[in-house]
Amino acid sequence: MLCHYNGHGNGPLTDYGRGVFASEIISKGFVGEKTSDEELSQRSGFLGKKQLPWWFRPGFKYRGLWFQTNPGSESTMKKFVHMQADASLALLFDQDQKYAVVASYGYYPVPASLRNDPNKPSEFLSREHYFRWMKNDNLTWFIGLMDKAYGLRIADHTAYSRTRVGVAQNDQTYGVMAMYRKEPWEFTPHVFIGNLAQNADQRQKGFSFMAERDMHQYFRLGGSTMFSQNDYVGWTRMAGHAKYGYGKGNSLLTEAGIIMNKPKSGDAKNGAYGLAQSMALIKRGYFFLSQVEYYNQTMSTKSPDNLKWTFGLLAFPYLKTEFRFTVVNGRDLSDDTVVGDSWSVQTQLHLSL
């Protein structure tokens, strides 16, 4: 809640979050070792050191990805994708920031399979616009379009824990969410009605709930549930998750859950997924990232075990800049067929003004 306007840690950064990013996370390699952390914090604003009115906080995010699949093979493919280009704005109605409106609007890359479709979706959309009311130190309300309160909000929107669950990059929903904090607990109920940009019959309407407990300063355990349905299928999701920090700059995130899909006509499918992501500090601003994922659509031998391992460098080399270089290995294990591993090399640049 201190670093982001959204209490679950995504979307635009607050002034405090910008300051922490600049003064504690980024490398000093390109700004000079003699540059003080206080100086970096002062340069973290949208216009650097130039002060903006206290009630006006704009932002801009760009994320681009270059990748190559199966390097060295005849079927290799190289491609660059503009994944995100969003302008954001936070309007504050009081200097204590009890009342705020947060919104974003930006570019959405339409999948290649839909680009020639005359009914293709718009390439521009808002991923969030909501009103936030911090009623007191324990309770905060959110009303509008936002991400569902469920699981870990990691940056990798292609992870099974996001795409298979229904909390991926563009799965936001209109609703009302409350965050209630009473140490060592935090509770988040969320009632939602789907995204109004979708056709009415496709909107998932329902309820989610997340609870987390601080076991100590660097260890948090939690669980999530979600129940929703549209005209075609009902969803039930349940997960447990943990956040653990150790040493200086090292962390481990884990999540495991069950995915139950019950079509209005047809057989129900009960699947499972798992995620473990670790970050190990190399030196200030540079981390070794490793992420292991698992997914099975039916929790049985009727469907393959989908495994994925992502590893490489996560770097914050300069103010408002993130760079990733990762290798992704995919493997599908089945009793019926043998499929070779898939490999891809990914380079990602993220600018956050």
Query: What's the confidence (pLDDT) of residue 27?
Result: 95
Helices (DSSP H) in the chain: which residue ranges? 15-20, 37-42, 160-163
Non-local (6+) Cβ contacts of 94 within 8 A are none
Query: What's the confidence (pLDDT) of residue 115?
Result: 74
pLDDT at 113 over 80: no
Structure tokens at 318: 């300069």
Residues 48-60 have pLDDT tens digits of 999 999 999 999 9
Structure tokens at 153: 């909000």
Burial class (CB in 10 A: 0-12, 13-18, 19+), 207: middle
Q: Strand 129-134 to strand 173-182: parallel, antiparallel, or no bridges (unpaired)? A: unpaired
Instruction: Report d(CA 158, CA 144) in Å as an integer.
Output: 25
Place of tokens 């607050």: 14
Query: What's the confidence (pLDDT) of residue 238?
Result: 98
Query: What's the confidence (pLDDT) of residue 66?
Result: 95
Instruction: Report d(CA 342, CA 329) in Å as an integer.
Output: 6
Work out the average pLDDT over 78-103. 94
Query: What's the confidence (pLDDT) of residue 107?
Result: 87
Instruction: Report d(CA 277, CA 294) in Å as an integer.
Output: 12
Structure tokens at 3: 């670093």
Instruction: Report d(CA 103, CA 128) in Å as an integer.
Output: 5
Q: Which helix (H) or strand (E) holds 221?
A: strand 219-229
Give me the percent of the chain exceeding a pLDDT of 70: 100
Residues 183-196 have pLDDT tens digits of 999 999 999 999 99
pLDDT at 117 over 80: no
Average pLDDT of the chain is: 94
Place of tokens 């670790």: 278
Residues 208-254 have pLDDT tens digits of 999 999 999 999 999 999 999 999 999 999 999 999 999 999 999 99
State the CB neighbour count (10 A cutoff) for residue 40.
Answer: 19
Q: What SS3 class is residue 38?
A: helix
Residues 299-349 have pLDDT tens digits of 998 899 999 999 999 999 999 999 999 999 999 998 888 788 999 999 999
Query: What's the confidence (pLDDT) of residue 111?
Result: 72
Query: What's the confidence (pLDDT) of residue 161?
Result: 97
Q: What SS3 class is residue 25?
A: helix
Q: Which of 245, 246, 272 is nearest to 261 (CA)?
A: 272
- How many residues are given for the chain? 353
Question: Can you give the C-alpha Rg of the chain in angstroms?
Answer: 21
Non-local (6+) Cβ contacts of 41 within 8 A are 18, 19, 22, 23
Higher pLDDT, 110 or 205: 205
- CB-CB contact of 282 with 251 (8 Å): no
Query: What's the confidence (pLDDT) of residue 170?
Result: 87
Residues 255-283 have pLDDT tens digits of 999 999 999 988 899 999 999 999 999 99
pLDDT at 112 over 90: no
- CB-CB contact of 347 with 67 (8 Å): yes
Peptide bond into 109 cis (omega under 30): no
Query: What's the confidence (pLDDT) of residue 2?
Result: 86
State the CB neighbour count (10 A cutoff) for residue 290.
Answer: 16
How far, rounded to the nearest angstrom, does the alpha carbon of residue 245 sit from its chain's CA centroid? 19
Higher pLDDT, 9 or 92: 92
- CB-CB contact of 18 with 45 (8 Å): yes
Q: Residue ranges of the domains in the chain? A: 15-352
The CATH classification number of 15-352 equals 2.40.160.10
pTM value is 0.93
Work out the average pLDDT over 101-117. 83
Residue 114 is given by DSSP the state G
Residues 136-177 have pLDDT tens digits of 999 999 999 999 999 999 999 899 999 999 999 889 999 999
